[in-house]
Amino acid sequence: MTTSAEHPQHPHAAPTLIATAEQKIVDAAITSRRSIRAFLPTPVPREEIEKILEVAARAPSGTNTQPWKVYVLTGQVKQQLSDEIIKTHNDPALASQHTEHYHYYPRQWSSPYIDRRRKVGWDLYALLELTRDNKSGMHAQHGRNYRFFDAPVGLIFTIDRVMEQGSWLDYGMFLQNIMVAARGRGLDTCPQAAFTQYHKIIGQVLQLPDNEMVVCGMSLGYADLERIENSLITERESVPGFVKFMD
């Protein structure tokens, strides 16, 4: 006799409420994903990175356009990019000359989005004992984005400028695949929109072609679980809060 874990259900069979081993593994990879903000220096083998990206590339995309382009940064190149961005980030006059390619966040905030944004920010700063009047401390913490939070691997994602909104939806699924595939290998990530402000510097250092624009960055490595900031677990709305079942 075989079990449902050994063979997939018939496509028209009623779904089982008993989680199979495969379901538990997938669920664990998804639900254990967090934005990690402090990494160990432990190197990640190139073949592991390649396998993660190979798996992630199975993400769906409209008519199989596969709009993603990835720059994997380690060693000297990663250090150079970090140094260039941080030098600008720490100079208000220089930083003011750099703006995002696209609006990641709303131009006009409203509830509940602004409330969630504020909560996660102050929850993180509370863990780090950064008070509202410690502007320099908050600036320094934000600047850690540009060190990829000391992760051994930094990823920069770009997209061809001709691609439209649908391709950005596809891109999100690709990014999620990377983060889930990383968790399946005991690795952690932090997706980072913070890099978009300095797309001009990124373009210069990485010698990006003119037709590519920066989507975001991402840190990849092994989490330093002794660092207090990595204890942050963000809240999520319950299913009834964002779903309507309609018969």
Band (pLDDT 50/70/90 cuts) for residue 16 is: low
In a domain, 125, yes or no: no
Domain that holds residue 168: 37-102+143-232
In a domain, 22, yes or no: no
- Residue environment code for 132-162, b if the CB has 16+ CB neighbours within 10 A, otherwise e: eeeeeebeebeebbbbbbbbbbbbbbbbeee
**What confidence tens digit (pLDDT) does each residue in 75-122 have?**
999 999 999 999 999 999 999 999 998 999 999 999 999 999 999 999
Radius of gyration of the chain (CA): 20
Model confidence at 7: pLDDT above 70: no
Q: How many structural domains is the chain composed of?
A: 1
CB-CB contact of 217 with 183 (8 Å): no
CATH of the domain at 73: 3.40.109.10
In a domain, 244, yes or no: no
In a domain, 168, yes or no: yes
| C-beta atoms surrounding 242 within 10 Å | 8
**What confidence tens digit (pLDDT) does each residue in 131-158 have?**
999 999 999 999 999 999 999 999 999 9
CA angle 103, 105, 110 (to 5 degrees): 135
Cβ-based neighbours of 78, under 8 Å, separated by 6 or more? 148, 153, 154
In a domain, 161, yes or no: yes
Model confidence at 168: pLDDT above 60: yes
What pLDDT score was predicted for residue 9?
A: 53
In a domain, 84, yes or no: yes
Mean pLDDT of the chain: 94
In a domain, 29, yes or no: no
